[in-house]
A and B are shown apart, each in its own frame.
Chain A
Amino acid sequence: MIELRNVSLRYGAREILKNVSLTIEDKKVKAILGPSGVGKSTIIKLMLGLIKPTSGQVLVDDVDITHFSEVELFPIRQKMGIVFQGNALFDSMTITENMSFFLRENLNLPENEIVARVQEQMKFAGLEGFENNLPDSLSGGMRKRVAIGRALIFHPSMILFDEPTAGLDPVSSKKILDLIKRLQSEIGLGAVIVTHILSDVFAVADSVAVLYQGGIIFNDVPQKLYDSTHSFITSFLSNPED
């Protein structure tokens, strides 16, 4: 479970998040919907302790991680995989190396266990046969799946997606969204998906929070979006490309 309590964040004079409170339940897919530049990536990074809030608290499984050091954060971060918007793969490493890198770095596993874990992810993501490719030689959808495989390498209980379908074609988008659904149904993996794409929300989310001008203006199941009278949501629903 991840919980933001009255979290505010400012960059200089600009207040990006104002008193945001939000709870992410285990085994559920939570979407955070908002226009670009509203602070969606920022929220994800707050959850991992990559950014510290100006005020308020971040709790993971009831532990207040707000003031944790990098070393203290590591066991927490192991519980949460992250898929960055641009994947953030290491471009000089092959797909297998990208996946095994952090295993080798941080866990003292025997070599056969490392190979097994990487193979498991390659298979799940449908990447067999591309073991020795460099990320640049793959399509956008495949790179995204490599990033998902890497995010799952520590067997986390939650996975965070920063705009998982941004920049992908409709077919690849659907594959990624299906994969997210499968992760939830097959291994009970909870997910946070920040996105500005409404159809993603309806495709995978159990519930959705809408972030607008620094605050959460809606937090409920996706269908309830249609009942909202908030002007931003109504205009977003009628004009979802914004």
Chain B
Amino acid sequence: MWKLAQAYSASFEEKLKGITFSMQDFLFFSLRAFRAIGASKRYWRDVLDQAYICGTESLPILLVSALSIGSLIVIEVGHQLAEFGAKTMTGRSVALSVVREISPLVAGLMLAARIGARNSSELGAMQISEQIDALRAFGTDPIAKLVVPRLVASFLMFIPLIALCDLVGLISGAYLAEWDLHLDRGIYWNSVIDILRPMDWLVGFSKPPVFAIGISLISCYTGFSTTGGTAGVGKSTIKGIVYSSAFVLVMNFYLSKVILDLMRG
């Protein structure tokens, strides 16, 4: 029994050491990426390519998600409000939850899956096929060439993407409120515009840059640290998606909490 406990604590200790080591490694990796950020000028073509992949190609799935968000909130919240004879408040609830929370969160999760999977699998495949070693061997910094364009592209694209999601979410809410609750669209939009303060936009738009940095660095790091052949690429892809999504979930909460607390004094 004692032996077993010892074995467990030993392997736990090993794991803990491993985690601490990777965290430190990840920190160094991130620092190197930030230090190399100037390379985005040199690799502007790669930045454009990545911006296309992460922006334009992500658009359809994001818009579909945004469409369902707005409608969903109207169905859930609008009917509740209608019961109390307060269906004119629907616009307010939709606006606050879409702009501050749900749109960044859902878009962030979608992007975590898309960008996370893509970066970690693509860079993982490059790692195991020694293409990353080849870059280094012939004098090109792989972080500048591969990580910086991905980081910069997503940083530039996430805000407009999430702004579009906000817009589509609100519009879909308006239509559903009209069809489902027979709420006049003018009233809906008036209450939307009434309730949204700069603080709400601040909360909503503080998220995409943070998500962009987190998702890119996490997924590029898991890609770069791939070992163990094709199975290893599978593992890093899982890690890339899971860690990126977890990051989005956690940061979404903290950013809302911290900014709202600060603003409310």
Residues of B within 8 A of A102 (CB): 138-140
A88-138: which have CB < 8 Å to B? 88-90, 102, 105-106
Chain A residues with Cβ under 8 A from B131's Cβ? 88-90
Which B residues between 154 and 203 are near A, CB-CB below 8 angstroms? none
B136 touches A78 (CB 8 A): no
- What residue in chain A is nearest B140 (Cβ atoms)? A105
Distance in angstroms from B16 CB to nearest chain A CB is: 15
Nearest residue in B to A162 (C-beta to C-beta)? B130
Q: For the complex, give the distance between the alpha carbons of A74 and B137 in Å.
A: 8
Q: A77 to B139, Cβ gap below 8 A?
A: yes
What residue of chain A has the Cβ atom nearest to residue B133's Cβ? Answer: A50
Question: What CA separation (Å) do A102 and B131 show in the bound complex?
Answer: 13
Contact A106 B133 (CB under 8 A): no
Interface residues of B in 15-61 (CB under 8 A from A): none
CB of B246 within 8 Å of the partner chain: no
Range class of the A interface residue count = 20 to 34
Least CB distance from B21 to A in Å reads 10
Task: Determine how close the nearest CB of chain B comes to the CB of A197; give it in whole angstroms.
Answer: 20
Looking at the complex, which one of B129, B137, B140 makes contact with A48 (CB distance below 8 Å)?
Answer: B137
- Chain A residues with CB under 8 A of B133: 45, 50, 84, 88
Binary flags per residue of B207-247, CB closer than 8 Å to A gives 1, else 0: 00000000000000000000000000000000000000000
Q: Which of B84-138 contact A (CB under 8 A)?
A: 129-131, 133-134, 136-138
Q: Is the CB of B130 within 8 A of A84?
A: yes
A188 within 8 A of B: no
Interface residue from B130, B134, B139, B140 paired with A78 (Cβ < 8 Å): B139
A90 to B134 Cα, complex, angstroms: 9
Q: Is the CB of B138 within 8 A of A85?
A: no
A70 contacts B by Cβ under 8 Å: yes
Measured in the bound complex, the distance between the Cα atoms of B137 and A87 in whole Å is: 13
Alpha-carbon separation in the docked complex, A89 to B126 (Å):
10
Contacts of B137 in A (CB 8 A): 48, 50, 77, 82
Complex Cα–Cα for A78 and B139 (A):
8
Give the residues in chain A near B130, CB-CB below 8 Å. 84-86, 88
Q: Is the CB of B139 within 8 A of A84?
A: no
A74 in contact with B134 (CB, 8 Å) = no
Residue of B whose beta carbon sits closest to that of A84 = B130
Nearest CB in chain A to that of B138: its residue = A102
A85 to B140, CA, bound (A): 20
Residues of B within 8 A of A70 (CB): 136, 141
- Among B129, B136, B138, chain A packs the most CB atoms within 10 A around the CB of B138
Verify A88–B136 contact, CB threshold 8 A: no
A200 CA / B122 CA spacing, docked (Å): 34
A50 CA to B140 CA in the complex, in Å?
A: 12
Question: Which residues from A are CB-within-8-Å of B136?
Answer: 50, 70
Name the B residues within 8 Å of A154 (CB-CB). Answer: 138
Which residues of the other chain, B, contact A82 by a CB distance below 8 angstroms?
A: 134, 137
B129 touches A77 (CB 8 A): no
Complex Cα gap A106–B134 (Å): 14
Are the CB atoms of B139 and A88 closer together than 8 Å?
A: no
Cβ-neighbour of B129 out of A88, A106, A150 (below 8 A):
A88
- Which listed residue, A84, A88, A106, touches B140 by the CB 8 Å rule? A106
How distant is B198 from chain A, measured CB to nearest CB, in Å? 44
Contact with B along A63-77 (1 / 0, CB 8 A): 000000010001001
Task: Give 10 CB contacts A-B under 8 Å.
Answer: A50-B133, A50-B136, A70-B136, A77-B138, A77-B139, A85-B130, A86-B130, A88-B129, A106-B139, A154-B138
Additional pairs, 15, CB under 8 Å, beyond known A74-B139, A106-B139:
A77-B138, A78-B139, A82-B134, A84-B130, A84-B134, A85-B130, A86-B129, A86-B130, A89-B131, A102-B138, A102-B140, A105-B138, A105-B139, A106-B140, A153-B138
